[in-house]
């Protein structure tokens, strides 16, 4: 049984074990991201070898390798590459804290994304030092308070970074449909803020994986269907396996109740 070897351990020792494992977990994550950062650096270095002639660029190749190694999506792998490269090249003091197990991978992820619009190497170094000075005490903060704390440091040292974010946010938009869309389909494209995009991505993943393994649709088709289900306010996706044993068998398509047809007779 899971954890059975700990049943006789004193409570104080359990707490000490939790603390030690938390530190070890952070150290292992730091080493993993250091390896990812090295891979990212190699993908961005000028190179005259035959790989420069590949149809797929080196960053995409590195993301594919990280995706396979970690068992994650290509998109999440690219995020890991960006975090690893940022720790390696822009946030060495934060990286040192991470390597010591003093801060978590989740905290590091937020730090890298909230500082990625800082362009100047000199200002990035100042922000890195200021964040490293305070980051040990940020673990208990809510996500919102954490982001505000990081943003306050960025604002102090590089107000233009916040301006660049607001300028990018002003370009946020979502468009549906183009004249050249195939019959019966509509393209969806646009730009969201990073937090909104992360929430949408997580929700789409939850719904697209709520069907059984026998569902014949591809992962992409399920994600597209999940977006429609979200628009209909559904919390699950209708399964297309047509098996009577499926727990989702007979479940109504949530989109059906979200559409009203008005018939006009004369």
Q: Do residue 188 and residue 128 come from a single domain? A: no
Residue pair 79/36 in contact by the 8 Å Cβ criterion: no
SS3 159: helix
Q: What is the CA radius of gyration of the chain?
A: 23
Q: Is 70 inside any structural domain?
A: yes
Q: Is 198 inside any structural domain?
A: yes
Residue pair 165/117 in contact by the 8 Å Cβ criterion: yes
Task: Give the residue from 170, 198, 217 where a domain finishes.
Answer: 170
Phi–psi pair at 56, nearest 5 degrees: -90, 135
pLDDT at 164: 67
Quickly count helices (H) and strands (E) in the chain.
10, 2
Task: Give the residue from 170, 191, 225 where a domain finishes.
Answer: 170
Q: Do residue 78 and residue 193 come from a single domain? A: no
Structure tokens at 24: 């070890």
State pLDDT tens for residues 142-161. 999 999 999 999 989 988 77
Q: Do residue 111 and residue 222 come from a single domain? A: no
Q: Is 266 inside any structural domain?
A: no
Q: Do residue 132 and residue 239 come from a single domain? A: no
pLDDT at 84: 96
State pLDDT tens for residues 16-36. 999 999 999 999 999 999 999
pLDDT at 55: 43
Q: Is 114 inside any structural domain?
A: yes
Q: Do residue 128 and residue 221 come from a single domain? A: no
Q: Is 176 inside any structural domain?
A: no
Q: C-alpha distances in angstroms, 19 versus 50, 103, 125, 140, 262?
A: 48, 12, 30, 14, 62
Q: Do residue 235 and residue 151 come from a single domain? A: no
pLDDT > 60? residue 48: no
Task: Give the residue from 170, 195, 227 where a domain finishes.
Answer: 170
**What is the extent of the structural domain holding 249?**
181-258
Average pLDDT over residues 91-109: 97
* Count of the separate structural domains present in the chain: 2
Calculate the average pLDDT of the chain. 85
Q: Is 209 inside any structural domain?
A: yes
Q: Do residue 156 and residue 202 come from a single domain? A: no
Q: Do residue 22 and residue 146 come from a single domain? A: yes
Q: Is 263 inside any structural domain?
A: no
Q: Do residue 98 and residue 226 come from a single domain? A: no
Q: Do residue 213 and residue 162 come from a single domain? A: no
pTM: 0.61
Q: Do residue 217 and residue 131 come from a single domain? A: no
Q: Is 265 inside any structural domain?
A: no
Phi–psi pair at 223, nearest 5 degrees: -65, -40
pLDDT over 90 percentage in the chain = 41
Q: Do residue 132 and residue 86 come from a single domain? A: yes
pLDDT over 70 percentage in the chain = 85
State pLDDT tens for residues 186-206. 888 888 877 788 888 888 888
């Amino acid at each position: 049984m899971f954890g059975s070897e700990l049943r006789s351990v004193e409570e104080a020792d359990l707490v000490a074990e939790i603390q030690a494992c938390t530190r070890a977990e952070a150290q292992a994550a730091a080493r993993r991201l250091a390896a990812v950062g090295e891979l990212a650096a190699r993908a961005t270095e000028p190179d005259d070898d035959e790989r420069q002639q590949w149809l797929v660029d080196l960053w995409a190749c590195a993301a594919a390798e990280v995706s396979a190694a970690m068992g994650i999506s290509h998109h999440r792998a690219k995020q890991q590459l960006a975090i690893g490269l940022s720790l390696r090249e822009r946030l060495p003091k934060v990286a040192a804290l991470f390597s010591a197990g003093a801060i978590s991978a989740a905290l590091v992820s937020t730090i890298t994304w909230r500082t990625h619009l800082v362009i100047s190497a000199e200002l990035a170094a100042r922000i890195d030092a200021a964040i490293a000075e305070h980051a040990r005490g940020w673990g208990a903060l809510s996500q919102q308070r954490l982001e505000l704390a990081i943003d306050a440091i960025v604002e102090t040292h590089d107000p233009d970074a916040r301006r660049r974010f607001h300028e990018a946010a002003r370009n946020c938009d979502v468009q549906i449909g183009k004249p050249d869309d195939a019959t019966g389909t509509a393209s969806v494209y646009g730009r969201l803020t990073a937090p909104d995009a992360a929430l949408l991505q997580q929700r789409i993943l939850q719904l697209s994986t709520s069907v059984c393994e026998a569902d014949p649709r591809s992962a992409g088709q399920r994600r597209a269907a999940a977006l429609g289900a979200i628009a209909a306010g559904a919390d699950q996706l209708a399964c297309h396996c047509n098996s009577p044993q499926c727990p989702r068998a007979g479940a109504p398509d949530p989109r059906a109740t979200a559409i009203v047809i008005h018939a006009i007779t004369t």
